[in-house]
């Protein structure tokens, strides 16, 4: 319980300093990270691109056709925003990075309309 309180307090500090994103997106990113790691054969550090794919899959699993709408409500309009969120968490000790990780890993990951609107309809037709 203490870790959860500490996590939430840290997220509160982050969102007070950087008001672009709602508190909920930080919890979602941690859940998406857990989801991504759980799909690996063995736990290890994941790349920005791997996390983006996990965010895409987990978002659709959680929110279905409303994924893009939820993300936009949280202030997230592109994969670059997830890079900002991840590095806010890194800078505040909630996530780790390697020397090879950078915000650039999240640039041009995918188009939200393509994967969450058109992509979701495609997944329903499978």
pLDDT, mean of residues 8-36:
97
Q: Write the pLDDT tens digit of every residue in 35-79.
A: 999 999 998 999 999 999 999 999 999 999 999 999 999 999 999
Supply the mean pLDDT for the chain. 92
The SS3 assignment for 4 reads helix
pLDDT, mean of residues 14-28:
97
Count of domains forming the chain: 1
Residue 2, pLDDT score: 66
Residue 117, pLDDT score: 87
Q: What is the DSSP string of 15-68?
A: HHH-TTS-HHHHHHHHHHHHHHHHTSSS-----HHHHHHHHHHHHHHHHGGGHH
Residue 1, pLDDT score: 61
Q: Write the pLDDT tens digit of every residue in 108-122.
A: 999 999 999 875 554
For residue 91, the enclosing domain spans 2-124
Closest by CA to 79, choosing from 121, 38, 124, 48, is 48
């Amino acid at each position: 319980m203490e870790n959860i309180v500490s996590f939430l307090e840290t997220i509160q500090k982050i969102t007070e300093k950087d008001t672009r994103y709602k508190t909920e997106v930080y919890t979602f990113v941690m859940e998406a990270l857990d989801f991504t790691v759980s799909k690996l054969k063995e736990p290890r550090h994941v790349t920005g691109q791997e996390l983006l794919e996990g965010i895409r899959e987990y978002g659709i699993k959680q929110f279905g056709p409303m994924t893009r709408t939820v993300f936009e409500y949280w202030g997230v309009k592109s994969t670059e925003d997830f890079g900002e969120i991840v590095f806010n968490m890194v800078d505040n000790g909630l996530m780790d990075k390697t020397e090879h990780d950078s915000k650039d890993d999240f640039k041009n990951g995918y188009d939200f309309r393509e994967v969450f609107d058109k992509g979701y309809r495609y997944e329903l037709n499978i």
